[in-house]
Amino acid sequence: MFDRVVIQSRMASLVLAMLASIVAPLPVFAQSADPGVVADLVIQVQELQDEVRTLSGRVEEQARELDNIKKRQRDQYLDLDQRITELSGAGPAKPPAEESAAGPEANAQAANEDVTDAPAEDLPEVRGPMDTPSDTVALSEPKVESQSAAVSSEEEKQAYDEAFQSLKDLRYADAAEQFQAFLTSYPNSEYADNAQYWLGESYYVTRNYDLALTAFNDLIDKYPDSGKVPDALLKVGYTYYELKQWDSARTALTRVQQDYPDTTLARLAESRLRGMRMEGHY
């Protein structure tokens, strides 16, 4: 886009130079030239002036669009960096067995360890893992199988923590690969919805919007009872916006307002919808 702006700017300059070379000798030429020829020349000059104004307008419009893209990209990185910096001060979440023994208040605190408020418009708040216990743990199973399930849960948590650490270190490509590997290995893990959401964020912040859209929609489809569905739906709206699919963006954001009224997510959705209205997208 920047190259197009430079090229069109140079074109406008060239046309202006042509106008100057034509208009300068016009008074002398008009004294001896046929009136019809002079009239045609004047019309051509006016057409060139109109073309210059059109090109100048396009240059200004594309320059504004380039500035907006740079600003949105900078805001995305800054917002995610700020949130991950805050998360880096929190300790690792408790294993599922410890959460069950600690009681509801401790469980809520552990679940919020990778949760922060949404500091800016482009990134919604992120909730902790699902409250539903892992399907691999069952009281009726033999003792040996229960021990195996506990080891499996520990491996799941370690794999999830490694992926999340990559995200906190701003290694987005590594994080996306690790979250995808986690979901492949542990599709029924209690951390699966968490991993699915962060997979989408890893793609979104690096402007891989098609992949991000797929990841967020997969969260909504595969984990409909997850507490992260509202966040994913908001990001679906954001992603459609970045893809310039205005009707789809409006539908998703409006659904956030209707399904989750009086929430931070609803306010974020309204803010983006208001911006779309100001930009003339509907």
- Tell me whether residue 200 is in a domain: yes
Output b/e per residue, 47-80; b: 16+ Cβ within 10 A: ebeeebeebeebbeebeeeeeeeeebeeebeebb
- Tell me whether residue 114 is in a domain: no
- Tell me whether residue 19 is in a domain: yes
Tell me how far apart the alpha carbons of residues 77 and 83 are, in angstroms, rounded to a whole number.
10
- Judging by beta carbons within 10 Å of its beta carbon (0-12, 13-18, 19+), is residue 272 exposed, middle or buried? buried
Same domain, 143 and 274: yes
Same domain, 140 and 225: yes
- Tell me whether residue 269 is in a domain: yes
CATH for 175? 1.25.40.10
**Range of 160's domain?**
136-278
Same domain, 69 and 201: no
CB–CB of 263/227 below 8 Å? Answer: no
Q: Other CB atoms closer than 10 Å to residue 276's CB: what's the count?
A: 17
Alpha-helical segments (H) within 24-88: 26-32, 35-87
Q: What is the DSSP string of 78-128?
A: HHHHHHHHHHTTSPPPPPHHHHHHH-HHHHHHHHTTT-----BTTB-----
Same domain, 158 and 68: no
- In this predicted structure, what is the pLDDT of residue 19? 53
pLDDT in tens, the chain (282 residues): 555 545 555 665 665 566 555 555 555 555 555 666 666 676 776 667 667 777 777 777 777 777 667 667 666 666 666 566 555 554 444 334 333 334 434 443 433 344 333 433 444 444 444 443 333 333 333 343 434 444 458 899 999 999 999 999 999 999 999 999 999 999 999 999 999 999 999 999 999 999 999 999 999 999 999 999 999 999 999 999 999 999 999 999 999 999 999 999 999 999 999 999 999 998
- Tell me whether residue 100 is in a domain: no
Same domain, 68 and 147: no
CB–CB of 95/153 below 8 Å? Answer: yes
What is the token pair recorded at 72? 């949105």
Give the domain-ending residue among 34, 64, 80: 80
CB–CB of 193/130 below 8 Å? Answer: yes
Q: For the range 212-215, what are the long-range contacts, defined as Cβ-Cβ under 8 Å and sequence gap of 24 or more?
A: 212/239, 213/239, 213/240, 213/243
Give the domain-ending residue among 55, 80, 105: 80
Same domain, 154 and 264: yes
Give the domain-ending residue among 64, 80, 96: 80
Number of domains forming the structure of the chain: 2
H or E element in which residue 230 lies: helix 229-242
- In this predicted structure, what is the pLDDT of residue 8? 57
- Tell me whether residue 125 is in a domain: no
Same domain, 171 and 70: no
- Tell me whether residue 6 is in a domain: yes
Same domain, 162 and 238: yes
Tell me how far apart the alpha carbons of residues 112 and 99 are, in angstroms, rounded to a whole number.
12
- Tell me whether residue 90 is in a domain: no
Same domain, 61 and 167: no
- In this predicted structure, what is the pLDDT of residue 268? 96
Torsion-angle region of 280 (φ positive above 0: left; ψ -120 to 50: alpha; else: beta):
left
Same domain, 239 and 157: yes
Q: Other CB atoms closer than 10 Å to residue 41's CB: what's the count?
A: 16
